[in-house]
Amino acid sequence: MSRALWIEIIAGLLYVFVIGPIGGGLLSGLDRLVSARMQGRQGPPIRQAFFDLSKLFQKRAGIVNHFQSILVVGHMVFVVFTGILIYTGNDFLLSLFTLTLGEMFFCMAAASASGPYSGMGSQRELVQLMCTEPMLLIMAIGFYLSTTLDAGTSGSFMVRALIHADVPAIVRMPGIFIGFLTILIVELRKSPFDVSTSHHAHQEMVKGITTDLSGNIMGITEMTEWYEEALMFTIVGLFFVNCHPISVLWAVLAALAAFFLENLIDNVFPRVKWETMFKTCWVSTFVFGGSNLLVLLLLVNR
């Protein structure tokens, strides 16, 4: 096998065994600590997230039906597969489809419980998908057009083409980046757009979509959130990484800046109704993302 293929395999294994379960867990622990400090509290240690996950896996799950556990595992499988696609430099558009499929499994898992809170959470999760999908598709098209503008290359949805570009995507896609940061709040289920579930105590549906999950099944869901969080901030980094090695540092710094920005918004803004979330996401998508996409199309066809 070629050296490039070995690098892609190692990158995929790093995501599965290190970046997702360890990096995502550290981000979850840091999230709690930063939120506590913003609220004037001491907060738990960063490793508390790992202690909580360990306790969940030691408990038996109160399974409503066996189909629910299959769907929860399916949700995790597709989220992890999405990360593998991105870290191995494969098709970014395909990775978005697999991520959406994983979210559909999560919605079906909640709906299968037939509980009032889970059912409402499942419906709201579907609304969140409607809010985020247009921006994700615009971002994928933007990456394609950005690689088209590189000298001597044709457009590609492959992540490896993006990270070997001469110019980082953020230079050509600032509007799309702003739009992605907006829907990132929804993807991370943070206030003011935590309508389907909440990490805080102000949710009127208790825990919403995760209300009927418990024990090791809830542990799988929690670990899936770690993988997804690590994946979202990896996508943030994709806007900044290019063929220059120093760009990796800028990508990491950008991901950390986005992490603290999302936490600040989470602690400053109160939760809004789903109608407001829908309007905000779609306006951001078509104002920032749409206008940036139009400029890219003009540059490609000039």
Nearest CA-CA partner of 86 in 198, 195, 11: 11
Structure tokens at 65: 């039906």
Query: Band of the pLDDT at 225, cuts 50, 70, 90?
Result: very high
Does residue 18 carry a pLDDT above 90?
yes
Please give the backbone phi and psi of residue 158, each rounded to the nearest 5 degrees, phi first. Answer: -75, 135
Check if the beta carbon of residue 48 is closer than 8 Å to that of residue 27: no
**Percent of the chain whose pLDDT exceeds 70:** 95
Write the pLDDT tens digit of every residue in 101-132.
999 999 999 888 877 888 888 999 999 999 99
Structure tokens at 279: 């309007």
Structure tokens at 108: 């079906």
Domain limits, the chain: 3-300
Check if the beta carbon of residue 121 is closer than 8 Å to that of residue 209: yes
The residue assigned the tokens 């943070």 is 190
The pTM of this model reads 0.94
Classify 114 in phi/psi space as left (phi over 0), alpha (psi -120 to 50) or beta.
Answer: left
Does residue 202 carry a pLDDT above 80?
no
As a whole number, mean pLDDT of residues 86-106 equals 95
The residue assigned the tokens 């979509």 is 209
Q: Is 3 helix (H, G, I), strand (E, B) or coil?
A: helix
